[in-house]
Structures are given as C-alpha cells and as structure tokens.
Amino acid sequence: MIASLPGWVVLLIAPVVVLHVVIGIVTYVTLLERKFAARMQSRIGPYRVGPHGLLQPIADAVKLMMKEDVVPTAADRPIYNLAPIVFLLPCMLIFATIPFAPGLGVADLNIGILFFLAVSAMEIVGLFMAGWGSNNKYALLSAMRAVNQVISYDLPFIFASLVPVLLAGSLRLGDIAAAQSGLWFVFYPVIGQLAFIAFIASTVAAENRAPFDILEAESELVAGFRVEYSGMKFALIQLGEYAHIIGSSFLGALLFLGAWAGPGPEWLGPVWFLIKAMFVFLLVTWVRWSFVRIRVDQILALSWKALMPATLLLLIATAFVVVWRTNGGV
C-alpha cells in the first residue's frame, strides 16, 4: 500500500507521521519510566492526574509551555537560544532511518546504521552550546564532562553495533532486521549476548543515564548543562534526551531482538517492534534505578581501559566467525 503511493507523497507525509508518533511515544515513555521506577521504590507513580496518571505527561507538557522563559542576563544569546534546537535535531533525525516494518520507514538508507551513529553523535555539539551559552560555571563544568564522556562511549557503542552488521553483512537496517528471521542476533552463541550487553552498557553511558550521569549529577551540579533553561527550551532538551534513549532502544531492538519478528499476522510487526524497544528501554531504566553513580575519572577509565578493548576484540572475533561460516563451517 505504501509502495503504491507516488514517492514524493511518501516523502512529504512519512516524516510528519513518524515525528508525531515519536513525540507521542517519547512523552508517554516518561510516564512509563516514572511508574516503573516508583514500583521499584515501593511507591506508586503519578496517580491523580487522569486515571492512574495517564494524563500526567500532557499536564507536564502544558505546564512547560506555560512557564516563563527566563534567560540569564549575561548569557551568550545566539548560542543559548540555538542550543536546544541543535540538541534536539539529531535526536529526532535518527528516527529517519529506522524501518518500523518491512518497507515502512522514512528512508531506509543503504548506509542506515552509519547515518544513525554519526547523527546521534552530533548532539554533543548542542550539549556543549548549552553549557557554554548559559554563562554558568556549573553548566560549563557539566558540559566539559559531557563531551568527555559521550565521545569516550560512542566508540564502544559503534563497535557493539557493528557486530550485527558483520553478522548480517549489510549496513542497511532493513537488511539487518530481515537477516534475523531465523535466529535473533541476541541468541547467537556467546557473541550475540556479549554484544548485547556491551550495547546496553555503552548506550547507558552515551546517553548520560545513571550510573553514568555524572554530567547532570543532581546532587552536585544540580541540572548540569540544563540548569539555566526553563519552559519550552527545557522541554525541548528533555524531549531530545528521551528521544535519543528511545531511538537507541529501537536500534537495540532492531539490531539484536529481531525488530518486527514475532508471532501473528504481519501487520502486528510494528507492535512487536514497539514492545521489544520498550523492553530494551526498561532494561536501561532498571539499571538506572539500581546503582549509585561513579566518578568521572572512573567512567572514563571504564570506557578506555575496559569497554573499548573488549568490544574491539569482540568485533574481530565476529569477523573470524563470519569468515569461518561463509567458508563452509557451520
């Protein structure tokens, strides 16, 4: 049905639809996280706004839109104002390459995963602009930590994502998903599980989620690089952060958990995809609410001394396995 429409129509409508769906998912994912975290802490999450708190994200959105936009006097105006947008844009752009069903996506590029990884690393620019433009020592300190950390952890993230690419033999996300129709990559003996764990660990760190959230560190730097933002700009930054996490969850579900593969008719595919992405997201959330954070030098040590060599070795091992498989071994 999608293929029968003229290309330019799809090109106009698809991004709009995907954008709205993504924003809807991101908004309600905040509620999911709050309820999940609350249950782990022996309490109930949002409960009063709407039945069982279902209207809470909408109330939050309305509140943020109505808030006064306070700009510090000495802030670097152009950079300060532009930073939320520069932060949000890559986080939304990563959804362009994810196919939600065979053939259903904005643009299933040939270099899909390369686009995803490259664009998702661009949010650091927005982050640093926010820290610098705020004219606040706390924000600057946190922005400097952020640049350190995100760059350090993007490398293991890339290496861990390249393992399914090697196993599938293509950079195109649709092909990787299709190659898992027999066996999901996470069930691949040893390599699959190790790559999945490395993916989760580097996702948690590259997105500044606890226990690697030294850059926002509420008890030290209050809100980190976001400290001087209020109102709609803060909403944009929050939106960007959660969109990045959800995007990585979708990527994880696609690379390792077989994307839309699941029992039932074919139109149920996107639903399974969503469920698997939520599973990855809840895994990340579970890790977040279980650990205290570690210091910045320990985070960097973990990345450069442990995670990156490990994922590099894993990639080389995967290459050997692939070669051995294509040359006749089973």
Partner 1 sequence: MTTAAAPKRVELDYAGSERLTMNMGPQHPSAHGVFRAILQLEGETVVDVDAVIGYLHRCHEKLSETLTYAQYPSIASKTDYVAAMTSEFAYVRAAEQIGKIEVPKRAQYLRVITSELQRVASHLLWLGTWCLDLGGALGGGATIFLYCIRERELVLDLFESLVGARLLYGFYQVGGVRYDVPADWVKTCRETVDLIDSRITEYEHMLEDNPFFMARVQGVGVITRELAEDVGISGPLLRGSGVDFDLRRAEPYSSYEDFQFIVPVETAGDCFARYRVRMVEFRESLKIVRQALDRLPDGPISSRPGLKSVAQTRIPKGEAYVRVEGARGEVGCYLVADGSAKPYRMKWRGASFSNLAILPHIVPGHKVADVVAIMGSVDPVFGEVDR
Partner 2 sequence: MAASEVQTVADVRANRDARRTGGTDVIVIVRTILSAMRMTFLNLFRKPVTVHYPDKTRNYPDRYRGLLALVYEKDTGEEACIGCRLCEYVCPPAVIKVEMLKSEKRNYAKSFTLELYACEFCELCVQVCPTDAIVMMKSFDMPTTDRRELLLDKDRLHSIGLTFEQSWATGNKLRDMQGPPKQAKPVAHAPAAAEGTTVS
Cα separations in angstroms, 102 against 156, 254, 267: 28, 12, 10
Contact status: 44 vs partner 2 (CB under 8 A):
yes
Please identify, using beta-carbon distances, which residue of 144 and 171 lies nearer to partner 1: 144
The piece of 33-41, 115-123, 163-171, 231-239 that touches partner 2 (CB under 8 A) is 33-41
Place of tokens 């997201």: 281
CB 245 within 8 A of CB 251: no
- Residue 32, class by beta-carbon neighbours within 10 Å (0-12 exposed, 13-18 middle, 19+ buried)? middle
User: Site for partner 2 (CB under 8 A): which residue of 42, 73, 219, 327?
Assistant: 42
Contact status: 289 vs partner 1 (CB under 8 A):
yes
Contact status: 219 vs partner 1 (CB under 8 A):
yes
Spatial distance between the Cα atoms of 119 and 116, rounded to a whole number of angstroms: 5
Contact status: 229 vs partner 1 (CB under 8 A):
no
User: Site for partner 2 (CB under 8 A): which residue of 103, 290, 319, 325?
Assistant: 290
295 contact choice in partner 1, partner 2, none (CB below 5 to 8 Å, kind-dependent): partner 1
User: How many angstroms separate the first and last alpha carbons of the chain?
Assistant: 39
The piece of 37-45, 169-177, 181-189, 258-266 that touches partner 2 (CB under 8 A) is 37-45
- Residue closest to 322 by CA, chosen among 193, 199, 188, 194: 188
Q: What's the angle, vertex CA 80, arms to CA 76 and CA 83, rounded to 5?
A: 145
Contact status: 327 vs partner 2 (CB under 8 A):
no
In 289-329, which ranges are continuous DSSP H helix?
296-301, 308-326
Contact status: 74 vs partner 1 (CB under 8 A):
no
The DSSP string of 207-267 is TT-TTS-TTT-HHHHTTGGGTT--THHHHHHHHHHHHHHHHHHHHHHHHHS-TT--SS-GG
Please identify, using beta-carbon distances, which residue of 96 and 215 lies nearer to partner 1: 215
User: Site for partner 2 (CB under 8 A): which residue of 169, 275, 286, 323?
Assistant: 286
User: Site for partner 1 (CB under 8 A): which residue of 43, 68, 74, 330?
Assistant: 43
Q: Where on the chain is the footprint of partner 2 (CB under 8 A)?
A: 36, 38-44, 47, 286-287, 289-291
Q: Where on the chain is the footprint of partner 1 (CB under 8 A)?
A: 37, 40-43, 137-138, 141, 145, 210-211, 213-214, 216-220, 222, 288-298
